[in-house]
């Protein structure tokens, strides 16, 4: 049995709020996103950093995508 649309909408709205806050904090800092590493199933994953403008653009697109999903009228 699947989850209801109400909980999906709540998660999307929460994610949008967190992403907007992260975007504002990132803009204020004004620095490039530094490379970082993480582990997945015991394997080390190396992530490349991003330039400030590239990361801002990516976050703006993600915010726009979430807003479009939230504002989509269900049929």
Structural domain including 24 reads 19-71
The answer to whether position 46 is within a domain reads: yes
Give, in degrees to the nearest 5, the angle at Cα 63 between 51 and 21: 75
Over the stretch 8-53, which tens digit does the pLDDT of each residue have?
889 999 999 999 999 999 999 999 999 999 999 999 999 999 999 9
Among the residues of the chain, which ranges form H helices? 5-29, 52-71
pLDDT for 75 equals: 46
Q: Which residue has the higher pLDDT, 28 or 73?
A: 28
* Structural domain total, the chain: 1
């Amino acid at each position: 049995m699947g989850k209801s649309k109400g909980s999906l909408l709540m998660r999307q709205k929460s994610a949008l709020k967190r992403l907007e806050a992260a975007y504002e904090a990132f803009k204020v800092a004004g620095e490039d996103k530094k490379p970082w590493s993480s582990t997945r199933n015991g394997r080390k994953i190396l992530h490349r950093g991003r330039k400030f403008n590239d990361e801002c653009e990516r976050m703006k697109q993600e915010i726009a995508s979430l807003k479009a999903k939230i504002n989509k009228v269900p049929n």
